[in-house]
Structure 1
Amino acid sequence: LQTHLPQESVTPGGTVTLSCSLSTGAITTSNYPSWYQQKLGSAPQQLIYSTNTRPTGIPARFSGSISSNNAVLTVTDVQAEDEADYYCAVFTGSVN
């Protein structure tokens, strides 16, 4: 799994797009991509699951999608508080 753009700068109020690819092939909705935000000193917080679903309490300015075989996280109206590390995760196997 590879997350692109290891460091991204954006002006407050702007939009940033993060992309995540799978080295073994395309990411699809069947991979149930999810996104997490981790601020310094805190545990990761889930932002998106199942491609584009936000958990309760996550602002609508965070959105997920799939584009060009990659999972994509888009953050609009970026705020200073959004400064963090962002991670993606995908399901690649079976659950018994």
Structure 2
Amino acid sequence: DIVLTQTPESLAVSPGDTVTIRCKTSSSVSGEMAWYQQKPGQAPKRLIYYASFLQSGVPAWFSDSGSGTDYTFTISRVEADDAGDYYCQHATAPYKNLPLPFSAG
């Protein structure tokens, strides 16, 4: 099984800040990486898939870069509405069950 390690475990940011979240995989996933956002009481929402493709309706200031075993998710200007849990996911693995909360306020 592929193991995903996400850092940092939590963030506290202010509106307008840049947020960077890293995901490392135990073996190369050939770009098959996705990122999800989850808010309390809601199902996870996919933001990015195959490492660089934005889901429809996701703002352009959300982005991902990386390849092989190392991926970086960036929100270039955080808004208060972006607060929630964020997860990396490999196509053949369940989405990460370690929450990555941050508050923007």
Structure-1-length-normalised TM-score: 0.84
Residue identity matched to 1:78:
V
Query: Is residue 34–residue 47 contact of structure 1 (8 Å, CA) maintained in 2?
Result: yes
> What does 1:1-96 align with in structure 2 at a 5 Å threshold?
1-22=4-25, 24-29=26-31, 32-66=32-66, 69-92=69-92
Give the gaps of 5 or more residues in structure 1.
none
Q: 1:60 Cα shift?
A: 0.4
User: Counterparts of 1:17 and 1:27 in 2: how far apart (Å)?
Assistant: 20
Give the gaps of 5 or more residues in structure 2.
94-105
Indicate the RMSD between aligned Cα atoms, in angstroms.
Answer: 1.8
Query: Is residue 3–residue 21 contact of structure 1 (8 Å, CA) maintained in 2?
Result: yes
User: Counterparts of 1:85 and 1:10 in 2: how far apart (Å)?
Assistant: 13
Q: 1:4 Cα shift?
A: 1.1
How many residue pairs were aligned?
90
Identity of aligned residues (%): 39
Residue identity matched to 2:75:
V
User: Counterparts of 1:48 and 1:21 in 2: how far apart (Å)?
Assistant: 16
Residue identity matched to 1:71:
Y
Query: Is residue 34–residue 91 contact of structure 2 (8 Å, CA) maintained in 1?
Result: no
Runs of at least 4 residues of structure 1 off by over 6 A?
none
User: Counterparts of 1:27 and 1:18 in 2: how far apart (Å)?
Assistant: 17
Q: 1:63 Cα shift?
A: 0.4
